[in-house]
Amino acid sequence: MRIVVAGTGYVGLVTGVCFAQQGFSVTCVDVSQEKIDLLNSGKSPIYEPGMDELLAQNAPRLTFTTDAAGAYRTADVIFIGVGTPERPDGSANLDYVFDVVEQIAQSVEKDCVVVVKSTVPIGTNDRVEEYLRQNLAHPVQVDVASNPEFLAQGTAIHDTLYASRIVIGTQSQRPRRVLEQLYAPFDAPKLFTDRRSAEMIKYASNDFLALKISYINEIANLCETVGANVDDVAAGMGFDQRIGSRFLHAGIGYGGSCFPKDTKALDSFASIHGYPLKTVAATIAVNEGQKLRLLEKARAHYPSLKGLTVAVLGLTFKPGTDDLREAPSLVNVPRLLEEGARVQAWDPIGAENFRRRVQGDIAYCETPEQALEAADLCLILTEWPQIKQLAPQVFQQKMNQPIVLDGRNCFAIEALRASGARLRYESIGRPAVDTRREDQ
């Protein structure tokens, strides 16, 4: 079976490489010549653990090209894995998906199955099929299937090879049989359903996870007010298997390429259909506020940030990725700069991308210790292991004022107290620690 994947981003490239790993020949198409050149030189345009090894191992089965028409012409299955970013009104922008669909309509010369992997609003697969039916340049049969993707960046290859589930939405037997065959080597639960339900499963899953995060973040904020510790609260909740312990880690809000846009897209889609989802709207509102939580805390120490040196540890939206999309750093660092602070930033892999996106008085540091040098304030925005492993004394030794505001709860309160380091440490939903004067 000849597989073609449109898009070599996190979803498209991982899909292509994982099918190659299962023994299929795969052609990956992208509009970006730069990405295709990189891939043809054996390098990955995205950071994803294990990707370089799989690219090398499967090189004989992988082709990378910008020649979309040539690739689609004789494909048996075409996966669409291009972006569906947020429009200004929150709805999903389907332009990239339909660019691919248009090219498919013009190019395919044999029967094939078009599989929509991109996250798309309910009913999009029907629109794709309708477009193809009306615009195919050659008399061939093209079926459309929905196969939403559930991988998480940073564990994308593992999530694909050992998927939690494979959801396949079809309206007829032929595409179902093709996808059954294609996914046969993958040992994962498979759910066969109709296309609209498959599309809905993706949004309902992502928005539920985002809801869980916003819920624990609100509980964390209340914990701070009433003197409870959200770590213990989350641990106590997590024992209940109906709740589960994952995604109960309080912090400064979710980011990334999926939760923010998928909550907004479903919110917008539901409202257009006359059934606004109150839980999803609340999830979004809580997250927007949460991203600024550390700056609110900073005010208690510094009414003005003008002239201060602020260490920012972590820029990416989570560890294990160089992706900055919707990262809290993109809200916090510009605010710091606007208020006249000087930023000393550290991130192990996100700094280059950040430099391209945000201009201003930012010194990019090689190590977290360097970023802390003479700082008046430290904001922790990503829970990189290198940050979690810092000895608490480092804050005291390096900083001008050892005031640490941790948006990811990287340090155990008791360990900080026991370390003997003198610092002011505030996190999300947990008691503040102030050892600066304790032994004076």
Residues annotated catalytic, as ranges:
258
CB of 70 vs ligand NAD, minimal distance in Å: 13
Q: Which is nearer to ligand NAD, 119 or 329 (CB)?
A: 119
Asked if residue 102 lies in contact with residue 139, where contact means CB atoms within 8 angstroms, the answer is no
Answer yes or no whether residue 229 interacts with ligand NAD by CB under 6 A.
no
| Alpha-carbon radius of gyration of the chain | 24
Q: Which is nearer to ligand NAD, 32 or 74 (CB)?
A: 32
Q: Which residue is nearest to ligand NAD, using beta carbons?
A: 9
Evaluate the CA torsion angle 419, 421, 422, 427 in order and state its sign: negative
Answer yes or no whether residue 9 interacts with ligand NAD by CB under 6 A.
yes
Q: How deeply is 334 buried, as exposed, middle or buried, from its count of CB atoms within 10 A (0-12, 13-18, 19+)?
A: middle
**By rule CB under 6 A, what count of residues binds ligand NAD?**
28
Answer yes or no whether residue 199 interacts with ligand NAD by CB under 6 A.
no
Distance CA 361, CA 298 (A): 19
Candidate list 19, 24, 30, 267; residue touching ligand NAD; CB under 6 A: 30
Distance CA 7, CA 118 (A): 10
Distance CA 183, CA 190 (A): 9
Candidate list 27, 44, 63, 119; residue touching ligand NAD; CB under 6 A: 119
Answer yes or no whether residue 121 interacts with ligand NAD by CB under 6 A.
no
Provide DSSP, 36-86.
HHHHHTT--SS--TTHHHHHHHTGGGEEEES-HHHHHHT-SEEEE----PB
- According to the 3-state scheme, what is the secondary structure of 265-289? HHHHHHHHCCCCCHHHHHHHHHHHH
Give the CA distances from residue 182 to residues 79, 114, 178, in Å, rounded to whole numbers and listed in that order. Answer: 12, 13, 6
Residues in contact with ligand NAD, shown as a per-residue x/- string from 77 to 116 under the rule CB under 6 A: ----xxxx-----------x--xx----------------
Answer yes or no whether residue 128 interacts with ligand NAD by CB under 6 A.
no
Window 241 to 280, contacts with ligand NAD (CB under 6 A): 257-258
Residues in contact with ligand NAD, shown as a per-residue x/- string from 61 to 80 under the rule CB under 6 A: -------x------------
Answer yes or no whether residue 32 interacts with ligand NAD by CB under 6 A.
yes
Applying CB under 6 A, which part among 7-15, 299-307, 413-421, 431-439 lies near ligand NAD?
A: 7-15
Give the CA distances from residue 235 to residues 81, 250, 304, 342, in Å, rounded to whole numbers and listed in that order. Answer: 37, 11, 37, 38
Binding site for ligand NAD (CB under 6 A): 6-12, 29-32, 35, 68, 81-84, 96, 99-100, 118-119, 149, 151-153, 257-258
